[in-house]
Amino acid sequence: MQSLSNRAKQVEKKPMTLAERAYLPAIFQGLSITMRHFFMKKPTIRYPEEQRPFSPVFRGLHVLKRDEQGRERCTACGLCAVACPAEAITMVAGERKKGEENLYREEKYAISYEINMLRCIFCGLCEEACPKAAVYLQADKMAPPRFERDEFIYGKNRLVEPVSPDDRSKRGIQLTEEQAQQLRTKMDAQLA
Amino acid sequence: MLELPALGWQSIVIFVVFALSLLIATYCTYAERVIAAFLQDRVGPDRAGPYGLAQPLADAVKMFTKEEFFPSGANTALFIFGPCLAMITALMSSAVIPFGNVLEFGSNYFFLQGIEVNIGLLWVFGVVSLGVYGIMIGGWASNNKFSLLGAIRAASQNISYELAMGLSLIAVLMISGTLSLRDITLQQSVAGEWHFWNIVKQPLGFIIFLVCAFAETNRTPFDLPECETELVGGYHTEYSSMKLGLYLFSEYVNIFVASAVMSVLYFGGFNFPFQYELRDWLVSNQDWTLAGAQNLITILGTVLLFGKIFGFIFFFMWVRWTLPRFRYDQLMRLGWTILIPLSIFNILLTGGLITFGII
């Protein structure tokens, strides 16, 4: 019968030849194969020391962007929260007061903006929904593991981009309210 | 040699050899894992210390802190005695192996060997064949079907392969005419002749001996006593903590001893090519004293002997991670219908060659 794939091999049960029965040639063949693998390059990546680069389209930890003058772009319109299929985003909107123009770009801003990283599925729909180009998923940063569930709820202190490019290295460091206030006053002094 | 200082020296040598066997066995566990990993395109343990070199320490700590488990219905005394016996017999056999030639200081001669006896080879094989009792007793005392099956397999396998091993050795003894391992080594030191290592005279005998050594040390492809797929863990199924550690350890000590015996019997022991030429050259051209040059080649020879031993240990591991396990009937057929007739043929061949003065 013709086989469908033409790859089928007819199995023959011949009695073994003397060389086959002596085992040794086959054993040396096997040994040479494993020795070849001994000198091969290992595909292992020793994780903490070596890290594979993320894909450029990787969707990692969120960031709330500032504009070029250092003001928060987010206006707390809530479109991201609506777009979010996992309902991970909550926010409270507030009105900008007089004298806060250097902090918030629009008259309305987010007093609190929280993303629950345990709910988030990193789909990026919030990024697409945002009309103010405020929320982005970073391509080089993941939400790190934590011991407590409430530590996975990222507030503005951990989401908003650091105030100035000089403070970029502080990105990801959780600022206390005091430290944030200090940064704001420093920023004010610079703008004045 | 029998004065008190000599006796003290022997004690030192035995102690050093004892410590070395343990150290080598410790690092064999590490080497086994790294070699296995490399043969399988992995990198092996590299977390504990630089290159993972502290891994054996971590393993030992793990072993010592595990629960000491005694199965119900086990014979407690024998259960403890089994691994002890396995370890003792593994360590005892290295006492007669000549690890080096002679060191000369003034009028004192120091032999790099525990005990020089004229029955060295018999001692090694007597002690090695006792080694199976450790496995037998452990398997029997566990009160477990799998342990018992593993122990029975170990016993019958060791007895079967000891026959072929002994017969392949008879051919070596026919050439050397002595049972002393030092004499056998020194006979292989004739430089510049084509037949100065026994492997040249006894290639068939060496292959038989090598196969039997694998079976005697219970290594793959002959590791049926601990065959995981059929017998859970074989004779050490019920063992935990450092008692299991002793069994695993004694296996590596056995490998070390088997490698040493193979190096001594077939690969010239502490001899290396052109050693006497090197000594004479040092004496005549470099103004070395004869004693100094002799000491140098003794030390070089010891280092090279350990090189040969490590080579064999590597080979043991290389084979383990290449070949699958034999089936039990295949194992027995190989032992009884192939290796034993082959080794008898080897004896006849050697006898013929000696009679006609070829070797």
- Do residue A37 and residue B319 have CB atoms under 8 angstroms apart? no
Which range among B228-242, B271-285, B334-348 has the greatest average pLDDT?
A: B334-348
Domain, as residue range, for A96? 62-173
- Has residue A33 been placed in a domain? no
pTM attached to this predicted model: 0.77
Tell me, what's the pLDDT at B298? Answer: 85
Interface test with A, best of B34, B35, B41 (most A CBs within 10 A): B41
Contact residues, chain A, for B323 at CB < 8 Å = 27, 30
CATH no. for residue A123?
3.30.70.3270
Complex-level ipTM? 0.76
- Do residue B43 and residue A46 have CB atoms under 8 angstroms apart? yes
Please state whether the peptide bond connecting residue B221 to the residue before it is cis, i.e. omega within 30 degrees of 0.
yes
Per the structure, the count of domains in chain A is: 1
Higher pLDDT, B2 or B269: B269
- Whose CA is closest to B323, among B239, B234, B211? B211
A48 Cβ under 8 Å from any chain B Cβ: no
Tell me, what's the pLDDT at B178? Answer: 85
Contact residues, chain B, for A34 at CB < 8 Å = 39, 318, 321-322
Tell me, what's the pLDDT at A172? Answer: 46
Q: How far apart, in whole angstroms, are the C-alpha atoms of residue B307 and residue B313?
A: 10
- The secondary structure of residue A153, as a DSSP letter, is E
B337 Cβ under 8 Å from any chain A Cβ: no
B327 Cβ under 8 Å from any chain A Cβ: no
Tell me, what's the pLDDT at B159? Answer: 86
Q: How far apart, in whole angstroms, are the C-alpha atoms of residue B231 and residue A157?
A: 59
- List, for residues B29-78, the tens digit of each pLDDT value: 899 999 999 999 888 888 888 888 888 889 889 888 988 888 888 888 88
- Has residue A153 been placed in a domain? yes
- Do residue B321 and residue A42 have CB atoms under 8 angstroms apart? no
Average pLDDT along chain B: 84
Q: CB count, 10 Å around CB of B226?
A: 23
Contact residues, chain B, for A33 at CB < 8 Å = 322
Tell me, what's the pLDDT at A1? Answer: 65
- List, for residues B240-255, the tens digit of each pLDDT value: 888 888 888 888 988 9
- Of all residues in chain B, the one with the smallest CA distance to A42 is B41
Burial track B126-155 (b if 16+ CB lie within 10 A, e otherwise): ebbbbbbbbbbbbbbbbbbebbbbbbbbbb
Share of chain B above pLDDT 90, in %: 9
Measured CA to CA in angstroms, residue B92 lies from A143, B130, B131, B248 at distances of: 58, 10, 10, 17
- Residues whose CB is less than 8 angstroms from the CB of residue B344 and which lie 6 or more positions away in sequence, other chains included: B167
- Has residue A26 been placed in a domain? no
**pLDDT values of chain A reduced to their tens digit, one per residue, 192 residues:** 677 787 888 888 888 888 777 788 888 888 999 999 989 888 888 888 888 888 888 888 999 988 877 788 899 899 999 999 999 999 888 888 888 888 888 889 888 899 999 999 999 899 999 998 899 898 888 888 889 888 899 988 888 887 654 454 444 445 567 767 777 787 777 666
Contact residues, chain A, for B35 at CB < 8 Å = 38
Which range among B169-178, B267-276, B341-350 has the greatest average pLDDT?
A: B341-350
B180 contacts B264 by C-beta, under 8 angstroms: no
Tell me, what's the pLDDT at B294? Answer: 81
Nearest by CB to residue B43, choosing from A30, A31, A44, is A44
Helix (H, G, I), strand (E, B) or coil at A41: coil
Tell me, what's the pLDDT at A169? Answer: 42
A52 Cβ under 8 Å from any chain B Cβ: no
Tell me, what's the pLDDT at A168? Answer: 45
Which secondary-structure segment (H or E) carries B104?
A: strand B98-105
Nearest by CB to residue A34, choosing from B39, B42, B46, is B39
B301 contacts B103 by C-beta, under 8 angstroms: no
Tell me, what's the pLDDT at B193? Answer: 58
- List, for residues B64-120, the tens digit of each pLDDT value: 898 888 888 888 888 888 888 888 888 888 888 888 887 777 777 777 777 778 888
Q: How far apart, in whole angstroms, are the C-alpha atoms of residue A91 and residue A107?
A: 16
A37 Cβ under 8 Å from any chain B Cβ: yes
- Of all residues in chain A, the one with the smallest CA distance to B321 is A34
- Has residue A74 been placed in a domain? yes
B48 Cβ under 8 Å from any chain A Cβ: no
Nearest by CB to residue B323, choosing from A30, A43, A44, is A30
- Of all residues in chain B, the one with the smallest CA distance to A32 is B322
Amino acid letter for position B124: V
Amino acid letter for position A133: A
Q: Where are the alpha helices (DSSP H) in B289-339?
A: 290-320, 328-333
Tell me, what's the pLDDT at A102? Answer: 81
Output the CA torsion sign for A129, A132, A137, A140. positive
Higher pLDDT, B224 or B16: B16
Q: How far is B322 from chain A (nearest CA, A)?
A: 6
Tell me, what's the pLDDT at A115? Answer: 92
Query: Which residues in A8-155 belong to E strands, given as ranges?
Result: 62-64, 89-95, 108-116, 135-137, 153-154
